[in-house]
A and B are shown apart, each in its own frame.
Chain A
Amino acid sequence: MEKDEYVELFHQMILIRLVEEQASVLYQQGKIGGFLHLYIGQEAVSTGLISARQPQDRVITAYRDHGVAINCGIPAKLVLAELLGKATGCSQGRGGSMHMADVKQNFWGGHAIVGAHLPIAAGLALGDRYQGRDSVTICMFGDGATNIGYFHEALNLSKVWNLSVLWVCENNLYGMGTSVERASAVSEIRQKAEGYMIPNSRVDGMDVIKVREAAQKAIGTVRSNKTPYFLEIETYRFRGHSMGDPERYRTSEEVKCWQNEEDPIGIYHKYLVDNNIASPEELDGLGNDVEREVQASVEYAENSPEPLADDLYKYIYAQTN
């Protein structure tokens, strides 16, 4: 990697972190409605993973999608505008937090029904295979989704039909408030892929370089072998499942431990400095730039117009004869 590629990874992680912190503030001000699932603590996962993709590779994920949206190239101001439900949002205010998308960037959405997007991911890969494309579909989901029927149907189908899907499980140890130990028959999620004869591995998700390397390897395998691969990425979310989560299912000591010792931004900051890739001043300066960018994005979003009432029925049908 070149220096600017390294720095870009840092930039994206900081951007996600600050956008998420702003989102939290806006939510508490009552400007964001519904559910808000923050990516704070997991920034290295999507940043490392998506940095490894080729432009023709598709990304689809679940509802904790703001970070993924930014990594896929959606500007922070359009993410924030969508959170505020504005017409300038990436889904024109119709999707909200859980349904960001930008198909031009090959980002096929955040999805809110647990596990339901997995068969769709298989379909994306099916479509690309049918049309002779060289694309890999990167499908992200949480540990909780690995227990629902859709997960099993999709993995099975991907293997039976040899679909080019990289199944990525972001295991942050809790499905909403239920730990993996209480919900899953197997303790290592990747073991489920064994049952479908899908090659698999695990990686530490708090280290963006490790994630990126594992992702490159996995995507390469999928692309060349035309067969699915399962990558389990261990990570941790520092905030609750969503805003308003009282977090009774884990101790504050546990959370603090992760925050202090396993913050992916801190880890990467140290990596960059220790390996003389960037100086602390540069990184601080970058941090300040991002702060300003995020402030401007919030202003943009707040000043954006609401969608028109007359457009309520728009987009029901693409075309009828």
Chain B
Amino acid sequence: MARITMREAISQALWEEMERDPNVFIMGEEVGVWGGSYAVTKGFYDHFGPERVKDTPISEAAIIGAAIGAALTGLRPVAEIMTINFAFSAFEHIVNQAAKFHYMFAGQMEVPLVIRTVSGGGRQLAATHSQSPDVVFAHFPGLIVVAPGTPEDAKGLLRSAIRINDPVFFIESATLYQSRGEVAEGENLIPIGKSKIQRPGKDVTIVTYSKMLETSMKAADQLAQEGVDVEIVDLRTLRPLDMEPVLESFKKTNRAVIVEEGWRSFGVGAEVAARIYEEAFDYADAPIQRVAQKEVPLPYNRTLEQLALPQVEDVIKAVKEVL
């Protein structure tokens, strides 16, 4: 067991898979010589060389399109979109091309592609560089969307994503790169499409993922001091969504709060709440609460930005609402 950062975990996963399988290669903006804009691929260029660590022009559509084409020839590209805000420039290729080839051509084509990207705000990068539009990508059948919240999950899920033969949209969180966690040695593959109880409890269920897992954990610690025992279910994968642990938890606690960094309207909370009501209506002792970003484009000013983003206090408040 080692206690490493999220950045190290992702970097290790990439490195180990590239060592293991010569068909795995990386392409994206500044991934090579620069070492990655978030330093995830630092050292890769010198070790693996320019053929396997490819710097691209600023052409998101071409980056993803070419990655798809390369995947069609049997390779396992890991393409990077520097931040999820730039993914819109490749939106066509992510959701309309990669997600659909296997189905549309009746299984003739496989797209074993991983697209790594970074979501989230909170660093005063202003509206167009601070979004968390994770749900938008989770809307499309055929595209797998993964968003880990711990270093262990990040490493295990990225390795699984690289190995499976379907396109995976792998969402990292900029403000989580420094977070630390225990990661076991060895292969430690984590299955895609499985939610996990990160913190067992009995009074209320929090459903969350990615950066908001950290926020929810902090809220849970504070609530524990007030005698409230919070159970936290980490979705880890948005599509396909694993509701089983969520429902089991809800049937036990009868109350839920869903916490996400994206906007409330049409968000992850909307989907999860609807499913809870569909499957466990009679177990509800209070309406489900959603904690999310306020419905504004994120402003530059630090105070305003923090005001708009979901905070620990917001989670605590929501938990108290449902108790």
Contacts and interface: CB of A to CB of B under 8 A. Distances in A.
Contacts of B69: 119-127, 137
A157 interface: yes
Nearest to A157: B62
B176 to A, nearest CB: 24
Interface of A: 91-95, 99, 101-103, 108-109, 113, 116-128, 130-131, 137, 149-150, 153-154, 156-157, 160-161, 314-321
B61 interface: yes
B180 to A, nearest CB: 26
A153 B108 contact: no
Q: Which residue of A116, A130, A316, A317 has the most chain B CB atoms within 10 A of its CB atom?
A: A317
Contacts of A161: 54
Interface stretch (B97-105, B120-128, B216-224, B274-282): B97-105
Given A116-B97, A123-B65, A131 B108 contact: no
Contacts of A95: 104-106
Nearest to B160: A321
Contact of B189 (A109, A113, A321): A321
Contacts of A160: 57
Contacts of A109: 101, 105, 109
B193 interface: yes
Contact of A120 (B57, B65, B240): B65
B45 interface: no
Contacts of A126: 66, 69-70, 73
Contact of A150 (B65, B105, B141): B65
5 contacts: A99-B105, A101-B109, A119-B64, A153-B62, A161-B54
Nearest to B51: A130
B97 A154 contact: no
A230 B57 CA distance: 20
Nearest to A122: B66
Contact of B108 (A102, A121, A149, A317): A102
Contacts of B93: 116, 119-120
A31 B164 CA distance: 38
B104 to A, nearest CB: 5
B192 interface: yes
A153 to B, nearest CB: 4
Nearest to A99: B104
